[in-house]
Amino acid sequence: MMVVNANSVLGLPAARGKILLGQLGCGDQDAEATLAHVIWSHLCEPGDMLAGALVQKLGPVEALSLIRGFDAAQALIAALANADAHDELLTNREDLASELSDGIARWRARDNNAAVLRSLELWARLDGQIVTPDAADWPPGLELLGAGAPRVLWLRGQRGALGSLDACIAMVGSRNVSSHGVHAAQAIAESAVAAGLAVVSGGAYGVDAEAHRGTLAAGGITIAVLAGGGDRFYPVGNADLLRQILISGCILAEQAPGNSPTRWRFLQRNRLIAALGEATVIVEMAVKSGAKNTMHHALAMGRAVYAVPGQMLSATARGCNIAIAEGKANIASGADEVIKEILGVGFEYESKGELTALQQRILDATSINAASVERLGIRAGTTNRETLSALGALELLGLVERRERGWARPTLSLRG
C-alpha cells in the first residue's frame, strides 16, 4: 500500500488523481468519495454484500479508512453502532466480528493503490469514463440490487447512452442459438427500437450478439455488460461488434481493467443485466444456462420476464418452455407484449380473424421498415393489383399502415 501523506487522497497522488478524475468524467464530483468507490471496486468481487452494506451505512471513505486501520473489525462495529445502522447484514449477529475479520483480510489482500492508479491511467488512455453511485446518471435500476450493487461502472463509449436505460429491455439467451432464435432476437430488438426502447445484453455469442446486431441494424441504442474488465473485449470473436456498440451505445463493466471474466463473474454480471432492463426477454434457453440465472435475478427484483416459446424437441427451447409452464415467464409471441409492459399500457391478445392466403403472403412481406407496393409484390410473388387489394384489407385490420415511403407494420409510440 502506498504511504498516505498530505499530497495524497486515500493514498493516491492528489494532483494526478484530480487530473485523472477530470479525464474520466468525474471532475465535478467529490474526489475523495469517488476515489474511495474506485478503490472498493478493486477490493471486492462482484456482489460482495458485506462490503456493499458497509459502504451504504458508513459511506465509501469512512468504511475504507476503517478497514485499513488498527483493530478494524471492532472499529467497524463501533462505527456501525454510532451510525445506528439497522441492517440484518450488520447488526444483531453473533458472527459479525468473525465475518468482518474475514472480509477485512480479503479486502486488504487486494488493497494496492499503485494498481488503482494504473487502472485509472489505462482507462484514461482508452477514453473510458467512471460512473459512481454519486453521479447524476447512475442507473436507477441498480438500486434494486441493494447492498449487492456495483461500486463503480467502468464505461466505454457514449455516456449519454445511460439515459436510454429509462426505457430499456434486457435480452438474453443461449450461446448456441438456432436460426429461429437469431430471427426472434433480431425481430424483437428491431421492434423495441421502433418503439423508442434501448436493448441491454451481455455481448456474448448467440442471442446476446443477435440482440445487439438487431438493435444496431434498426438504428437503436444498445448497451453491453461485460463480465471482466472493459479494457479487453470478450469474447474476442465479438470484438468488432463491441466496437460498433461504442459508436452509439456503450459497454459497462463493474470489474476494474485487467480483470478476467470467470464463471462467478458471468453469473454476477447477469444481475446487472436484469436490473438495467425494465423487463427481461429470454429468446432461447437450455434447462441449465446463464439465461436462467438472469431470469432468477429479474424475478427476485420484481422485474417482468418474457420467454419465446420454441419447438418441443429443441434443447435450447426447453428452458423457455418450462419457464412458461411454471409461470415464471410470460409468453413472448412477439415484441408487443414486452413493449407494452414497459410502457405500462397493458397487453391483450386480439383475434383479427383468419387471413386469406393472399393477405398472409403480403403481411409476411412487410416489416417495420416501409416498402413500396412494387417491392412488397416482389417479396410475396404477387401483382400490384393483388398487393394493393391485400394491403387495403390488412390496413382495415390494423396490421399494416401507409407511410410516406410505402407500407409497413405499425409501431407503438413510446410515450404520449
Please state which of the ranges 144-153, 176-185, 229-238, 241-250 shows the lowest mean pLDDT: 176-185
Per-residue model confidence (pLDDT) at position 353: 60
| 164/396: higher pLDDT | 164
Grid coordinates representing 406? Answer: 410505402
Please state which of the ranges 67-76, 136-145, 239-248, 392-401 shows the lowest mean pLDDT: 392-401
Residue 17 has pLDDT above 60, yes or no: yes
What is the per-residue pLDDT across 315-335, written as a single tens digit (0 to 9) for each?
888 898 999 999 999 888 766
Torsion sign (Cα): 55, 58, 61, 62: negative
Grid coordinates representing 1? Answer: 500500500
Rounded Cα distance, 170 and 293, in Å: 13
Question: What secondary structure letter does DSSP report for 12?
Answer: E
Residue 255 has pLDDT above 80, yes or no: yes
Mean pLDDT of all residues in 260-277: 93
Mean pLDDT of all residues in 244-272: 94
Per-residue model confidence (pLDDT) at position 209: 96
Question: CB neighbours of 297 closer than 8 A, spacing ≥ 6?
Answer: 270, 271, 273, 274, 275
Grid coordinates representing 260? Answer: 478476467
What is the per-residue pLDDT across 151-176, written as a single tens digit (0 to 9) for each?
999 999 999 999 999 889 999 999 99
CA neighbor of 159 nearest in space, from 140, 125, 135: 135
CA distances from residue 185 to 204, 205, 212, 310 in whole angstroms, order as listed: 13, 12, 9, 13
Mean pLDDT of all residues in 363-370: 84
Grid coordinates representing 113? Answer: 493503490
Rounded Cα distance, 88 and 96, in Å: 10
pTM attached to this predicted model: 0.81
Per-residue model confidence (pLDDT) at position 87: 64
Grid coordinates representing 233? Answer: 473485449
C-beta of residue 252 within 8 angstroms of C-beta of residue 271: no
Mean pLDDT of all residues in 179-194: 88
Q: Sketch out the chain's domains with CATH numbers.
A: 8-125 (no CATH), 153-343 (3.40.50.450), 357-408 (1.10.10.10)
Give DSSP secondary structure letters for 278-293.
SEEEES---SSSHHHH
Residue 337 has pLDDT above 80, yes or no: no
Number of H helices, E strands in the chain: 17, 13
Per-residue model confidence (pLDDT) at position 413: 40
Q: List beta partners, residue 223.
A: 200, 250
| 356/216: higher pLDDT | 216
Give DSSP secondary structure letters for 370-387.
-B-HHHHHHHHT--HHHH
Question: What secondary structure letter does DSSP report for 166?
Answer: G
Mean pLDDT of all residues in 76-96: 74
Per-residue model confidence (pLDDT) at position 84: 67
Per-residue model confidence (pLDDT) at position 290: 83
Per-residue model confidence (pLDDT) at position 341: 66
Question: Cα 130 to the chain's mean position, in Å?
Answer: 16
Question: What secondary structure letter does DSSP report for 175?
Answer: S
Please state, as a whole number, how many other Cβ atoms lie within 10 Å of the Cβ of residue 92.
8
Per-residue model confidence (pLDDT) at position 180: 86
Rounded Cα distance, 409 and 394, in Å: 10
Rounded Cα distance, 72 and 239, in Å: 43
Residue 362 has pLDDT above 80, yes or no: yes
Give DSSP secondary structure letters for 325-358.
HTTSSEE-SSSHHHHHHHHT---------PPPHH
pLDDT bucket at 415, cuts 50 / 70 / 90: very low
Task: Report percent pLDDT > 70 for the chain.
Answer: 90
Residue 144 has pLDDT above 90, yes or no: yes
Q: Cell match 422485474: residue?
A: 303
Mean pLDDT of all residues in 211-231: 95
